[in-house]
């Protein structure tokens, strides 16, 4: 009989999301060793986790060679760039089970125009918008949206990790953003969209090509500054669950978003096996899809994996093999979500000085042990070990600290306290992750 729990797993990537995946998968029954490539010095400190550092994760042949050499039963791909490089296709061709969509299916993230096309065919609501190769046409479309009383969002066409988006407050701002993107965007294509408003929610589902089962809902904080001010970033913090969208609505949301998209991708001959992330905005007229990602979110993963009451490895392996129903109980499949622990989590991202424009690196970080001793989980996104053994900043997003508690208010307080314990020159973090949700709950 084929095994249900993978004993040896290879994770491709090296950020906070991959650290959280390694932490979770290495702690599960049946797990023998988790290997992360290229991983990081920080991830390598995790028990029963080993990093294979000198590998280019964008080189399909190199990743296949590591998977073979390490005799892994499952490969889990973290970053979008690895999907876009065709690594999952090469692994599948080599007969290795991989959790992560093919390059063709991952276009749901790598091409915003493809996402709009699939969503339209699947009957999934998105903001009205279009992709432009011509500056004047983009300007005219923005002016039309503004004339209709709406605001405008301007987006880079290709992969930008959430950083290529300008949410504009005026037509003048939109025009500046359009001109700037046309000057810098390598694909020469810019997306202009109607601006929607409402709180956001990240719904991430594990998909086997046909079926989907979701992880707990969470909410990212994309802007750099407190109160959602400043530039968009890759994500500055997340919490779970959401006080305004109970997790028992997940089945209905899967019916509206992931399931129709899965059916449409399968119909086109590109079934999606991996994490399908729906970035939703909860407008007064109902939830609308802002974007799809073809992978787990970062920092959402750091916040939601500690909330799971079930081993993740068997579900990922079953999804990779195309048959979630083979391992998940019928009640879980019918519910549409993996069983959750009670309580709440808050993840706060600590970013380097200069992030997101020009992050600085090489500064020593203090207080990591104190933060861990406070009960927080500390996941490494961009750190390295100095020659003297000290942990140093080495990336835009450097760390995330995650607190678990009985409710959101207690988790917010604990995460904030843990974040204050970690110090490095210019290290920045938001001080309001979770607070808006608590205030909204109190006001009800």
Q: Which residue has the tokens 């599960």?
A: 28
Quick one: which of 197, 215, 198 has its CA closest to 206?
A: 215
Per partner kind, with CB cut-offs from 5 to 8 A, the member of ligand GLY, ligand AMP, none near residue 297 is: ligand GLY
Per partner kind, with CB cut-offs from 5 to 8 A, the member of ligand GLY, ligand AMP, none near residue 300 is: ligand GLY
3-class SS letters over 134-188: CHHHHHHHHHHHHHCCCCEEEEECCCCCCCCEEECCCHHHHHHHHHHHHHHCCCC
CB 207 within 8 A of CB 171: no
Per partner kind, with CB cut-offs from 5 to 8 A, the member of ligand GLY, ligand AMP, none near residue 307 is: none
Per partner kind, with CB cut-offs from 5 to 8 A, the member of ligand AMP, ligand GLY, none near residue 195 is: ligand AMP
Start-to-end CA distance of the chain, whole Å, equals 53
Q: Which residues bind ligand AMP (CB under 6 A)?
A: 127, 153, 155, 162, 165, 167, 193, 195-196, 200, 222, 232, 279, 290-291
Per partner kind, with CB cut-offs from 5 to 8 A, the member of ligand AMP, ligand GLY, none near residue 89 is: none
**66 or 167: CB nearest ligand AMP:** 167
Per partner kind, with CB cut-offs from 5 to 8 A, the member of ligand AMP, ligand GLY, none near residue 232 is: ligand AMP
Here's the x/- map for ligand GLY, 226-255, by CB under 6 A: it reads as ---------x--------------------
Beta-bridge partner residues of 347: 238, 402
Could you tell me the smallest distance in angstroms from the CB atom of residue 152 to ligand AMP? 9
Q: Which of 13, 297, 359, 382 binds ligand GLY (CB under 6 A)?
A: 297
Per partner kind, with CB cut-offs from 5 to 8 A, the member of ligand AMP, ligand GLY, none near residue 293 is: ligand GLY
Angle between helices 408-421 and 435-443 (to 10 degrees): 150
Quick one: which of 397, 271, 313 has its CA closest to 76?
A: 313
**189 or 232: CB nearest ligand AMP:** 232
Could you tell me the smallest distance in angstroms from the CB atom of residue 293 to ligand GLY? 5
In angstroms, how far apart are the furthest CA atoms of the chain? 63
Would you count residue 381 as binding ligand GLY (CB under 6 A)? no
What residues have CB less than 8 Å from 65, skipping those under 6 apart?
none
**208 or 300: CB nearest ligand GLY:** 300
> Interaction with ligand GLY in 300-319: which residues (CB under 6 A)?
300
Q: Which two tokens stand for residue 166?
A: 């300008």
Q: Which two tokens stand for residue 118?
A: 């699939």
CA 341 to chain CA centroid, Å, is: 21
Quick one: which of 27, 193, 5 has its CA closest to 115?
A: 193
Q: Which stretch binds ligand GLY (CB under 6 A): 85-93, 169-177, 245-253, 290-298?
A: 290-298
> Interaction with ligand GLY in 154-183: which residues (CB under 6 A)?
162
Could you tell me the smallest distance in angstroms from the CB atom of residue 287 to ligand AMP? 13
Count the Cβ atoms, other than its own, within 10 Å of residue 442. 9
Could you tell me the smallest distance in angstroms from the CB atom of residue 196 to ligand AMP? 4
Q: Which of 89, 151, 208, 298 binds ligand GLY (CB under 6 A)?
A: 298
Q: Which stretch binds ligand GLY (CB under 6 A): 65-73, 252-260, 293-301, 428-436?
A: 293-301
**31 or 233: CB nearest ligand GLY:** 233
**37 or 233: CB nearest ligand AMP:** 233
> Interaction with ligand GLY in 384-413: which residues (CB under 6 A)?
none
Could you tell me the smallest distance in angstroms from the CB atom of residue 300 to ligand GLY? 6
**6 or 279: CB nearest ligand GLY:** 279
**9 or 165: CB nearest ligand AMP:** 165
CB 200 within 8 A of CB 279: yes
Could you tell me the smallest distance in angstroms from the CB atom of residue 231 to ligand AMP? 11
Q: Which of 220, 247, 340, 363 binds ligand GLY (CB under 6 A)?
A: 220
Q: Which stretch binds ligand GLY (CB under 6 A): 3-11, 280-288, 295-303, 343-351?
A: 295-303
Can you give the binding site for ligand GLY, defined by CB under 6 A? Answer: 162, 220, 235, 293, 297-298, 300
């Amino acid at each position: 009989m084929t095994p249900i729990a993978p004993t040896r797993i290879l994770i491709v990537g090296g950020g906070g999301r991959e650290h959280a995946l390694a932490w979770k998968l290495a702690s599960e029954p049946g797990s023998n060793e988790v290997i992360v490539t290229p991983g990081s010095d920080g991830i390598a400190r995790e028990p029963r986790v080993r990093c294979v550092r000198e590998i280019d994760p964008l080189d399909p042949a190199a990743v296949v060679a590591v998977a073979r050499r390490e005799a892994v039963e499952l490969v889990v791909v973290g970053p979008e760039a690895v999907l876009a490089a065709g690594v999952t296709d090469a692994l599948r061709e080599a007969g290795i089970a991989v959790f992560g969509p093919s390059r063709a299916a991952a276009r749901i993230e790598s091409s915003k125009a493809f996402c709009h096309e699939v969503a339209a065919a699947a009957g999934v609501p998105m903001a009205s918008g279009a992709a432009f190769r011509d500056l004047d046409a983009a300007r005219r479309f923005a002016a039309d949206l503004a004339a209709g009383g709406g605001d405008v969002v301007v987006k880079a066409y290709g992969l930008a990790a959430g950083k290529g988006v300008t949410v504009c407050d005026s037509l003048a701002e939109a025009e500046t953003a359009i001109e700037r993107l046309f000057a810098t965007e390598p694909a020469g294509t810019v997306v202009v969209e109607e601006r929607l408003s409402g709180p956001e929610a990240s719904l991430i589902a594990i998909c086997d090509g046909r079926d989907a089962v979701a992880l707990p809902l969470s909410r990212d904080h994309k802007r750099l500054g407190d109160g959602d001010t400043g530039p968009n970033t890759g994500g500055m913090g997340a919490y779970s669950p959401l006080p305004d969208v109970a997790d028992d609505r997940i089945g209905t949301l899967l019916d509206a978003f992931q399931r129709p998209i899965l059916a449409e991708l399968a119909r086109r001959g590109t079934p999606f096996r991996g994490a399908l992330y729906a970035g939703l905005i909860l407008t007064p007229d109902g939830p609308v899809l802002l974007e799809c990602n073809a992978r787990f979110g970062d920092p959402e993963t750091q916040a939601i994996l500690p909330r799971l009451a079930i081993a993740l490895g068997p579900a990922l392996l079953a999804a990779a093999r195309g048959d979630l129903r083979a391992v998940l109980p019928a009640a879980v499949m019918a519910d549409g979500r993996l069983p959750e622990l009670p309580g709440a989590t808050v993840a706060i991202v600590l970013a380097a000085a200069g992030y997101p424009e020009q992050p600085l690196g090489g500064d020593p970080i203090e207080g990591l042990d104190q933060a861990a001793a406070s009960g927080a989980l500390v996941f490494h996104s961009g750190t390295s070990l100095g020659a003297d053994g000290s942990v140093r900043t080495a990336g835009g997003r450097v760390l995330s600290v995650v607190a678990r508690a009985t409710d959101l208010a207690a988790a917010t307080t604990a995460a904030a306290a843990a974040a204050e314990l970690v110090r490095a020159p210019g290290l920045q973090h938001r001080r309001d992750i979770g607070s808006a949700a608590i205030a909204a709950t109190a006001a009800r």
